[in-house]
Structure 1
Amino acid sequence: MAEVWFYHLERRPLEAVLPSLLEKCLARGWKAVVQVGSAERLEVLDGHLWTYRKDSFLPHGTVADGDAHRQPVYLTTGPENPNEATVRFLVDRADPPDLAGYLRVVFVFDGRDAEALAEAREHWKRAKAAGHEVSYWQLSDTGRWERKV
């Protein structure tokens, strides 16, 4: 069973949070696939991951880049996992595929969006009912992610 983590965005946008979460995956030697809710958002995140810091970038690719199997981070709008990632991120209300086969699945949702919040609660219920280990993370006042009970 996968660890299924829910990251509740309240103070910072996805663009400020996703790069550091992906960096942690890469530091552990894990590949990641990021499933985005729309082609427009995929294009925005694709550009952002190349430029989010002046001194760094996140190596990644999309279907347009080819060689998907070689990408440490793969961005998609669909359920595929062509880089054989062990971690799957679901952002912008992306519809999750089967969670089996992943070490970790990370739902990142906007807590200021009532529909996104309701969907996250449904995904939580389904993941828990399927036997996955679920946890909820919230950004503290100091800017660190804290696991909540």
Structure 2
Amino acid sequence: MGAAYFYHLTHQPLETALPQLVARARGAGWRVAVRVGEADRLEALDKALWSGPAEEFPAHGIADGAHDADQPVLLTTAMDTPNGAACLMTVSGAEVTPEDCAAMERVCVIFDGTDGAALDQARVQWKALTAAEIEAQYWSQESGRWERKR
């Protein structure tokens, strides 16, 4: 059973932080599914992953393509992960369940610290996952870099 890591964005927008977090997960050897809560965000996140430095470029695709199973990083709004991901990243209010955590090495819940609704939803998700006895960690950019808070 994997752990849930909550990433509280305060110093970077999602479009900047996501490529960095995806690179870390890929560095661990994991395929990644990025579950997006709002379909209209797919294109912006796709563009953000394409526009990073060439040496950090994560090969990826948007779900419902012919090669979803082959994608090392797949952007999706669906609950399934056809690319065999070991790491699930949820953004823009996407749902995450204890079953997701049981199926993955890691689940990352990434939320905007300047958005009150996003903060509230992350709190609800934290409570639901920890109540299901999922190991959870909280990471913040409060100091300008990622730090685990206890």
Alpha-carbon spacing, 1:140–1:118, altered in 2? closer, same or farther (3 Å): closer
Alpha-carbon spacing, 1:85–1:139, altered in 2? closer, same or farther (3 Å): same
How high is the TM-score relative to the length of structure 2? 0.92
Give the partner amino acid of 1:25.
A
Cα distance, 1:54 vs. partner?
A: 5.1
How high is the TM-score relative to the length of structure 1? 0.93
SS at match of 1:74: strand
Uncovered stretches (5+) of structure 1, i.e. residues with no partner = none
Q: Structure 1: which 4+ aligned runs deviate by more than 4 Å?
A: none
Query: Could you say which residue in structure 2 is the equivalent of 1:5?
Result: 5
Alpha-carbon spacing, 1:42–1:124, altered in 2? closer, same or farther (3 Å): same
Query: Could you say which residue in structure 1 is the equivalent of 2:131?
Result: 129
Greater mean alpha carbon deviation, residues 42-51 or residues 60-69: 60-69
Give the partner amino acid of 1:93.
G
- State the Cα deviation string for residues 39-69 of structure 1 (Å, max 9, x = none): 2101111122111225542100112542111
Query: Could you say which residue in structure 2 is the equivalent of 1:46?
Result: 46
Instruction: Report how many aligned residue pairs link the two structures.
Output: 148
Q: 1:67, 1:112 → 2: CA distance? A: 36
Query: Could you say which residue in structure 1 is the equivalent of 2:147?
Result: 146
Greater mean alpha carbon deviation, residues 96-105 or residues 129-138: 96-105
Cα distance, 1:96 vs. partner?
A: 2.1
Query: Could you say which residue in structure 2 is the equivalent of 1:87?
Result: 87
Uncovered stretches (5+) of structure 2, i.e. residues with no partner = none
